[in-house]
Homo-oligomer: A and B are copies of this chain.
Amino acid sequence: MKIALCQINPIIGDIKGNKDKIINGYKRGVELDADLVIFPELSLCGYPPLDLVEKEEFRIALSEASNQIAEITGETGLLFGSITEDYEDNIGTGIYNSAVLCYKGRIQFIQNKTLLPNYDVFDEVRYFEPAKDVFIHEFKGQKLGISICEDIWNDDDYWKNRRYPIDPVKKLVKKGAEILINISASPYAFGRREERYEMLSTLTASERIPLAYVCCVGAQTDLIFDGGSMCFNSNGDLVKIGKYFEEDLILFDTEENYEEIASVERSFEAELLDSLILGIKDYASKTGFTKALVGLSGGIDSAIVTYLAVKAFGKENVFVVMMPSKYSSEGSIKDSEKLISNLGISSEMISIQPVFDEVLKMLNPVFEGTKENIAEENIQSRIRGLYLMAISNKFNYMLLTTGNKSEMAVGYATLYGDMSGALAVIGDVYKTDVYRLAEFINREEEIIPKQIIDKEPSAELRPNQKDQDSLPPYDLLDKILQMYLEEYKELSEITEELKDEATVRKVLRLVDMNEFKRKQAAPVLRVSTKAFGYGRRFPIVQKWNRNF
């Protein structure tokens, strides 16, 4: 069977636009003589639709669009993801996450999703009922075993601890499936594509059945989908793979012999760069922004974000503002100017000092006699935020925030100051990884000025301030954070490994205490398995970890 995998980039809720993408993809598949053209999970509404699922008008619109799609089909099959309803028993939501198969002008078969992920960024049990059973559909003489995303992630040959008691794909195999198809929408983090490959290769090798696994691509607010659709032959060899971070159509003939593909992931830095650029680009294009704005401090974070903005928007659409105060070092300006010239972008310099002085003067009746503290530092950061937001509001620039994951973790950032913006571009990238990115960007020529990479990190909010005055060195901090946030390790385990208990304890306390800042942060582009945001849910008011 010749299967065309259409790796599309839908916009959530844009049913008309997504329908057109599906119809166009189908037409291309037909031209290529495919027997079946397949699209990702929930491709008609975009993934994740979240509470839109609860809107009846939304579900009706999807149902109408599904019928319109079915109507244009001929002999070639078209399989896409949508939402279907069935209220037979008045229990539960009656709503399903479904794979819809059409040909000859009609919807011929629907397979609902059995395993509903409900962890990290996934809330599918909130919306959907699980499939009551799985069924084989015979099409053009071949028995298709169709499943949706998570359905294929519960193989007991691969997992020691399983999430679910049922394995729908095994059931399909038992029922005689000859070709496996999985339509998917699985957000990316480095290592994830390799993991998919391992799991799917194990499965197809042990079941001796070919698999077409189609993924979506594109960013949906904070979630980034990387494409990389995969096709396996019945030996478990990967024989076709879709482009990374781009739309693509790949053709897979289950009868044909292909060369095996050896590698599915590039370097950490290459993958990370592409995901961040796609994240910015899609936020902008899907909301209508065409220009970006960044506040350049002279530090590495804003330098990297500016570089990413140039990649996403083009240099003519990026505007940066330098906002020095009396605490800014001369180096900061010089280094920023070097970056501006390297990138060929337009810029402006606006001092915050006169406004800062005026604010202090106005606050004097209240502040008089107090000692300088964090209040004065935050005022500076907030004036910068105010300038940037004013420019953004005036000219409709998309303001990018520049805080990294290490800072967001420990609250080393000012609410309504440097945290202002539409998107926290590197909010899921540790400071040490920001340096890795800089080195990678400079691998052929110096784009990020070496001085910016070499200087000691400083917020420059008081004389001679250095990040390391109040934080542990970033290599230690990031190790602790990585273990705490992504590896789910806790005080005892981290201390056992890194020794320095006082530092570990301090860092964990800071992480827990700063939930209130992250609640009010811009959405963070998710590039790790545990990003700040939707997939990480901690109470703001809580005392765990503060008492012990």
Which of A's residues lie within 8 Å of B, judged by CB?
11-17, 46, 48-52, 54-58, 61, 89-92, 118-119, 123, 125-126, 160-165, 220-221, 282-283, 286-287, 321, 348, 350-352, 354-355, 358-359, 361-363, 365-367, 370, 373-376, 378-379, 382-383, 385-387, 389-391, 393-395, 415-416, 420, 422, 488, 490-492, 516, 519-523, 534, 536-548
Contact = CB atoms under 8 A, between A and B. Distances in A.
A90 B386 contact: no
Given A393-B375, A538-B50, A362 B387 contact: yes
A540 B520 contact: no
Given A13-B545, A52-B544, 16 more contacts: A15-B544, A52-B538, A55-B490, A57-B491, A58-B544, A286-B543, A350-B362, A354-B358, A354-B362, A355-B359, A367-B390, A370-B394, A370-B395, A375-B390, A519-B523, A523-B540
A287 B547 CA distance: 13
B416 A389 contact: yes
A418 to B, nearest CB: 11
A541 B55 contact: no
A89 B538 CA distance: 28
A363 B379 contact: no
A155 to B, nearest CB: 13
Contacts of A519: 522-523
A420 to B, nearest CB: 5
Contacts of A539: 12-13, 46, 48-50, 52, 220-221
A386 B390 contact: no
B362 A391 contact: no
Contacts of A55: 488, 490, 544
Contacts of A395: 370
Nearest to A372: B394
Given A11-B543, A541-B221, A389 B394 contact: no
Given A57-B491, A358-B358, A391-B363, A541 B50 contact: no
A522 B523 contact: no
Given A91-B165, A365-B350, A390 B359 contact: yes
Given A55-B488, A362-B350, A523-B519, A390 B416 contact: no
Contact of A162 (B91, B416, B536, B542): B91
A390 B49 CA distance: 39
B366 A350 contact: yes
Given A14-B544, A537-B123, A348 B366 contact: yes
A521 B160 CA distance: 41
A46 B488 CA distance: 21
A46 B519 CA distance: 20
Contacts of A366: 321, 348, 350, 391, 394
A218 B541 CA distance: 12
Contact of A374 (B50, B287, B393): B393
Contact of A14 (B367, B422, B521, B543): B543
A398 to B, nearest CB: 11
Given A118-B118, A389-B416, A542 B12 contact: yes
Contacts of A125: 118, 125
Contacts of A385: 382, 416
Q: 7 closest A-B pairs (Cβ-Cβ)?
A: A13-B544, A14-B543, A375-B393, A375-B394, A416-B416, A13-B542, A12-B542
A142 B89 CA distance: 36
Contact of A54 (B14, B488, B492): B488
A21 to B, nearest CB: 13
Contacts of A54: 488
A390 B89 CA distance: 58
Contacts of A376: 390
Contacts of A51: 536-538
Contacts of A352: 362
Max count, chain B CB within 10 A of own CB: residue among A46, A50, A543, A547:
A543
A52 B386 contact: no
A18 to B, nearest CB: 9
A52 B542 contact: yes
Given A373-B393, A386-B386, A516 B50 contact: no
Nearest to A385: B416
A46 B542 contact: yes
A184 to B, nearest CB: 19
Contact of A541 (B126, B283, B378): B283
Nearest to A516: B422
A390 B365 contact: no
